[in-house]
């Protein structure tokens, strides 16, 4: 057994070894507010990790003060979740968000903003001018499905690389990708050096590992853990969505586009206007109205008016934790995931 691994005294789904969690100065959870990132945090707590060594990081894909692609309530839900578990939460975002990057013409990539224990910092924005003028591509390739890389992966890396508190320390970055989600994600390593790792640098000595603790979990196991803790999931799950990404995710199914057209007609129209302006559709084959016409809105959007109100609100006012005995499975728990393949 290596110095960085230990054998667990009990069985964990799909894995018999873990990184030695006691060797890390801090554990950073990339927290979307979705079921898998919730499960990552709960697993850490069940493994006995003290809360003072855990911090949550959430990326605002629309940036501060804007809302086009994401669920309006997501930022507030994440804040209330962190408060309920008494954990620090740091926000980060690409200035102007997904919309600015999508519309970029003869401009450099926008600066990255990130919160730290000492306040907000800004990095970048001085690169070579470039033009995008199109939606992210519906592919597993992160070079063309740039929403994930530019708005999430790169943002977190920038936040880590520009904070000296991560230098001369051991940090574990935790993310919630699962093998069940796609063939591409099934090939991800469970544990590997993070892209910001500089452990061999004499100057930085920045040791950062990347762990995917729920990689082998099934959806059933994820929801079982969430129920065990009595966590109320993000409102989108109660409206029929099986996966929490952006409300207007590029991978949205026809049923999800029909649902969005019903509950958020103005933003649906704005996105279609961009299709017309770019002469490029999100789907590459069908326009947003065509996709919505092929689908049927989820019945749950009419059955759960309180959850709908929450989902479209900027303030999450429901509890995060409830009695597990009164907890109910969301309508979308095992519904359409409509994510990367």
Taking Cα atoms as reference points, which of 132, 73, 121, 119 lies closest to residue 93? 121
Tell me the pLDDT band of 8, cut-offs 50, 70 and 90. very low
Phi, psi (5° rounding) for residue 10? Answer: -150, 165
H/E run at residue 115: strand 112-116
Residue 93: other Cβ atoms inside 10 A: 25
The confidence score (pLDDT) of residue 337 equals 80
Six token digits for residue 293: 């016409």
Q: How confident is the model over 133-190, as pLDDT tens digits?
A: 999 999 888 889 999 999 999 999 999 999 999 999 999 999 999 999 988 899 999 9
Residue 136: other Cβ atoms inside 10 A: 22
Residue 34 scores a pLDDT above 60: yes
Q: DSSP string spanning 258-310?
A: HHHHHH-HHHHHHHHHHHHHHT--SSSSS-HHHHHHHS---THHHH-HHHHHH
Tell me the pLDDT band of 339, cut-offs 50, 70 and 90. confident
Q: Report percent pLDDT > 70 for the chain.
A: 95
Q: How confident is the model over 36-93, as pLDDT tens digits?
A: 999 999 999 999 999 999 999 999 999 998 999 999 999 999 999 999 999 999 999 9
Question: Per DSSP, what are the bridge partners of residue 211?
Answer: 174, 191
Q: Report percent pLDDT > 90 for the chain.
A: 89
Residue 14 scores a pLDDT above 80: no
With both helix axes pointing from N to C terminus, report the angle between 265-278 and 254-263 in degrees, rounded to the nearest 10.
120
Burial group, residue 314, by CB count within 10 angstroms (0-12, 13-18, 19+)? exposed
The confidence score (pLDDT) of residue 140 equals 84
Q: Mark 287-302 as b/e (b = at least 16 C-beta within 10 Å).
A: bbeebbeebebbebbe
Six token digits for residue 205: 């000595």
Query: What CA–CA distance (Å, rounded) separates 315 from 311?
Result: 9
């Amino acid at each position: 057994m290596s110095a960085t691994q230990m054998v667990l005294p009990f069985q964990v789904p799909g894995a018999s070894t873990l990184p030695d969690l006691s060797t890390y100065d801090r554990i950073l959870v990339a927290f979307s507010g979705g079921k898998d990132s919730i499960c990552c945090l709960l697993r850490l707590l069940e493994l006995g990790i003290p809360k003072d060594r855990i911090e949550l990081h959430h990326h605002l894909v629309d940036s501060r003060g804007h809302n086009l692609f994401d669920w309006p309530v997501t930022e507030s839900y994440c804040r209330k979740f962190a408060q309920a578990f008494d954990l620090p939460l740091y926000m980060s975002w690409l200035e102007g968000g997904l919309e600015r990057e999508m519309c970029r013409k003869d401009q450099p990539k926008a600066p990255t903003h990130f919160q730290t224990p000492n306040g907000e910092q800004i990095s970048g924005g001085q690169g070579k001018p470039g033009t995008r003028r199109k939606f992210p591509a519906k592919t597993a390739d992160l070079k063309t499905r740039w929403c994930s890389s530019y708005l999430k992966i790169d943002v977190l890396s920038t936040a880590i690389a520009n904070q000296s508190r991560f230098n001369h320390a051991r940090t574990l970055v935790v993310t919630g990708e699962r093998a069940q989600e796609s063939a591409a994600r099934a090939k991800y390593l469970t544990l590997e050096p993070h892209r910001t790792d500089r452990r061999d640098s004499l100057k930085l000595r920045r040791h950062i590992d990347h762990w995917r603790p729920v990689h082998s979990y099934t959806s059933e196991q994820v929801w079982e853990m969430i129920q065990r803790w009595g966590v109320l999931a993000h409102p989108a799950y109660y409206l029929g969505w099986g996966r929490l990404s952006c409300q207007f995710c590029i991978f949205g199914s026809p049923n999800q586009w029909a649902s969005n057209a019903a509950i958020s007609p103005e933003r649906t129209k704005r996105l279609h206007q961009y299709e017309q302006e770019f002469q490029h559709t999100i789907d590459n084959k069908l326009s947003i109205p065509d996709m919505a016409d092929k689908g049927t809105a989820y019945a749950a959007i009419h059955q759960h008016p309180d959850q709908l109100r929450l989902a479209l609100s900027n303030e999450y006012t429901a509890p995060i934790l409830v009695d597990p005995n009164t907890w109910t499975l969301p309508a979308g728990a095992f519904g359409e995931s409509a994510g990367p393949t």
